[in-house]
């Protein structure tokens, strides 16, 4: 059984996609694009050394482009403090007093929650904004500090 060079390129592209699915490394998809370019070059009748150069160039450029795109777009905030994930972030609560252990009990969404001061400066009473949610504990920032940010 003699496989055509283009078939070997397509198999390589498929293996790279499969490994990407197992590992989650998006860069492997860029290399699979390079392998597909090598396969297309083989279909066009280009010699093997040129196919390899084309695959390397396309895969390398795609990888570099993806790396630059990721570098320009910062990652999103962690889920515990990301408003896109948790709609409680940014909501207001009232703190009537802080306990000696640095926590407070606040009424929010019809229930009592444990809250912790995560803002700058000392903990104080009054209006606060939810900055994070970790399990059943709210991270609070004073409302006047939250509006400045």
CATH of the domain at 109: 2.40.50.140
CA 120 to chain centre: 27
Residue 48: predicted pLDDT:
95
Three-class HEC string of the chain: CCCCHHHHHHHHHHHHHHHHHHHCCCHHHHHHHHHHHHHHHHHCCCCHHHHHHHHHHHHHHHHHHHHHHHHHCCCCCCHHHCCCCCCCCCCEEEECCCCCCCEEEEEECCEEEEEEECCCCCCCCEEEEEEEEECCEEEEEEHHHHHHC
63/89 same-domain check: no
Residue 48: which domain range? Answer: 5-72
Residues 130 and 89: beta-carbon distance below 8 Å? yes
38/91 same-domain check: no
Residue 110 lies in a domain: yes
Q: What total number of domains does the chain contain?
A: 2
67/97 same-domain check: no
Residue 149 lies in a domain: no
Residue 22: predicted pLDDT:
95
Residue 89 lies in a domain: yes
**What does DSSP say about strands 137-142 and 126-134: parallel, antiparallel, or unpaired?**
antiparallel
Residue 43 lies in a domain: yes
Residue 5: predicted pLDDT:
94
Angle between helices 27-43 and 5-23 (to 10 degrees): 170
41/17 same-domain check: yes
Residue 96: predicted pLDDT:
92
pTM exceeds 0.75, yes or no: no
Tens-digit pLDDT string for the chain (149 aa): 578 999 999 999 999 999 999 998 889 999 999 999 999 999 999 999 999 999 999 999 999 999 999 888 877 777 666 777 778 888 999 999 999 888 999 999 888 999 999 878 888 899 999 988 888 899 999 988 766 65
Cβ neighbourhood burial of 142 (10 Å; 0-12, 13-18, 19+): buried
């Amino acid at each position: 059984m003699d496989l055509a060079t283009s078939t070997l390129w397509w198999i390589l592209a498929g293996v790279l996609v499969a490994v990407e699915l197992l590992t989650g490394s998006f860069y492997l998809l860029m290399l699979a694009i390079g392998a597909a370019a090598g396969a297309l070059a083989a279909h066009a009748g280009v010699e093997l050394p040129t196919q390899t150069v084309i695959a390397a160039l396309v895969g390398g450029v795609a990888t570099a482009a993806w790396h630059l795109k990721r570098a320009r777009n910062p990652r999103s905030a962690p889920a515990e403090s990301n408003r896109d994930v948790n709609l409680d972030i940014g909501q207001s609560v009232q703190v009537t007093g802080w306990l000696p252990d640095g926590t407070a009990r606040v009424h929010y969404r019809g229930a009592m929650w444990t809250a912790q001061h995560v803002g700058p400066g000392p903990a104080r009473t009054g209006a606060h904004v939810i900055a994070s949610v970790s399990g059943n504990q709210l991270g609070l920032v004073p409302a006047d500090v939250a509006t400045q940010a």
